[in-house]
């Protein structure tokens, strides 16, 4: 193999020693291309190349360093010290190297995640990101890095990392009104059932896709059993027809086995879609669903938007899927091993409880009592 520094080519060697930065830029480009094409294995030759390249990079301008980074980063033979030199240069070159260099170890990338900031964001943008690094990003709770991960269409997200990111997205949306991570996760395709806990923050089309994803997860499973206590549905219907919102929210919380804050969010959503899903999960007959939704429309003075939820959700309303979505809203995540979610008397999975986000109390609009 010829010398990797191009010392065997007198003209190229003269370019490396030139005082003209343009000449040295030519040497950098040719030498880096030759290195990548040669796929060297000789350690001494690689070390000499690294020495020569590092000396030239010290005097290079940012566009040249970026050019060399684009050539060397995808090569697994590129010495780590050269990659580190490029990563320590200007921000644009550093981001590119950290995102694309194939020679970095998982340990090094994990250390970047632990430090957070631009390094963690660059790691989150890498293709074929291993599950261990995805989980490290999720555990770091670095919102900016997780937004970058959610927007990384090349990464097949690990289920555990996706659920943790979803829990954080919901917590941020509910507590601080920060919807960026939630929207980034909802924009990923195909929609996965793990993001069901973001149902309340999804738009109409996204809600349909979440329900369909939950349906696919439930394929070949038997329909959910009828509700154990029909009086729970009776209490909901009576409170709705009587136009007693506080009583209705209490009955809904009792039926779903959730807190009053979540029941309030479901009840006051003006689209009626979360309420339609909750009623479906509880096994409400069609006529009960119609009466409850119409009564809530009358209560809010809306132009029958809630009853329209049945048409908007159409075939996406399936009891097993609806139960899975409601359970995700209540417990903070999807339990894939569970055929369906029961409500009254259910003991939540402690792993789901650990991921349960804080739910913001939503004040109900002023409503005149009948």
For the full predicted model, state whether its pTM sits above 0.85. Answer: no
Q: Taking every pair of C-alpha atoms in the chain, what is the biggest distance, in angstroms?
A: 96
State the helix-helix crossing angle for 91-100 and 80-87, rounded to 10 degrees. Answer: 140
How many DSSP H helices and E strands does the chain contain?
Answer: 21, 0
Model pLDDT, residue 337: 47
- 335 vs 181, residue with greater confidence: 181
Residue 209 neighbours by CB under 8 Å, 6+ apart: 191
Looking from the CA of 216 toward its CB, the CA atoms found within 13 Å total 11
Per residue in 124-133, pLDDT (tens digit) is 999 989 999 9
Region 283-305 average pLDDT: 80
- 2 vs 173, residue with greater confidence: 173
Model pLDDT, residue 11: 84
Least trusted range by pLDDT, from 156-160, 236-240, 302-306: 302-306
Tokens of 316: 């996406």
Cα→Cα distances 150→101, 108, 125, Å: 20, 22, 9
Tokens of 262: 């979540």
Region 183-210 average pLDDT: 95
Contact 218, 320 (CB under 8 A): yes
Region 296-304 average pLDDT: 66
> 277: closest CA among 233, 246, 322, 321?
322
Model pLDDT, residue 363: 35
Predicted confidence band at 370 (pLDDT cuts at 50, 70, 90)?
very low
What average pLDDT does the chain have? 85
Please give the full DSSP string across 2-71, using - where no structure is assigned.
--TT-TTSHHHHHHHT-S-HHHHHHHHHHHHHHHHHH----HHHHHHHHHHHHHHHHT--HHHHHHHHHH
Region 78-99 average pLDDT: 95
> 257: closest CA among 164, 193, 349?
349
Region of 243 on the Ramachandran plot (φ > 0 left; ψ -120 to 50 alpha; else beta): left
Distance CA 151, CA 128 (A): 14
Per residue in 216-262, pLDDT (tens digit) is 887 756 655 555 456 788 899 999 888 899 999 999 999 999 999 99
Predicted confidence band at 21 (pLDDT cuts at 50, 70, 90)?
confident
Is there a cis peptide before residue 258, judged by omega within 30 degrees of 0?
Answer: no
């Amino acid at each position: 193999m010829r010398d990797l520094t191009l010392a065997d080519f007198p003209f190229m060697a003269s370019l490396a020693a030139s005082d003209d930065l343009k000449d040295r830029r030519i040497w950098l480009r040719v030498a880096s291309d030759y290195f990548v094409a040669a796929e060297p294995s000789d350690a001494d030759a690689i070390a000499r190349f690294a020495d020569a390249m590092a000396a030239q990079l010290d005097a290079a301008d940012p566009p040249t360093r970026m050019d060399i980074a684009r050539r060397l980063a995808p090569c697994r033979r590129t010495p780590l010290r050269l990659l580190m030199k490029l990563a320590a240069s200007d921000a644009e070159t550093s981001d590119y190297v950290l995102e694309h260099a194939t020679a970095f170890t998982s340990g090094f990338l994990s250390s970047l995640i632990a430090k957070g900031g631009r390094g963690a964001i660059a790691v989150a943008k890498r293709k074929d990101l291993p599950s261990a690094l995805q989980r490290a990003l999720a555990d770091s709770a670095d919102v900016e890095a997780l937004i970058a991960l959610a927007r990384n269409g090349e990464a097949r997200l690990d289920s555990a990392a996706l659920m943790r990111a979803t829990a954080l997205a919901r917590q941020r949306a509910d507590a601080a009104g920060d919807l960026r991570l939630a929207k980034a996760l909802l924009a990923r395709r195909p929609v996965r059932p793990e993001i069901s806990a973001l149902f309340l923050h999804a738009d109409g089309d996204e809600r349909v896709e979440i329900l369909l994803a939950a349906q696919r997860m439930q394929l070949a499973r038997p329909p959910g059993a009828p509700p154990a206590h029909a009086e729970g549905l009776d209490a909901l219907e009576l409170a709705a027809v009587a136009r007693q919102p506080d009583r209705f929210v209490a009955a809904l919380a009792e039926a779903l086995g959730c807190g009053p804050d979540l029941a309030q969010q479901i009840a006051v959503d003006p689209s009626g879609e979360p309420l339609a899903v909750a009623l479906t999960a509880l096994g409400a007959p069609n006529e009960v669903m119609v009466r409850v939704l119409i009564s809530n429309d009358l209560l809010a003075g809306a132009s029958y938007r809630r009853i329209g939820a049945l048409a908007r959700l159409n075939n996406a309303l399936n009891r097993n899927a609806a139960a899975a979505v409601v359970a995700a809203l209540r417990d903070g995540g999807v339990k894939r091993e569970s055929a369906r979610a029961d409500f009254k008397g259910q003991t939540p999975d402690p792993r789901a409880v650990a991921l349960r986000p804080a739910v913001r109390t939503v004040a109900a609009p002023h409503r005149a009592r009948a």
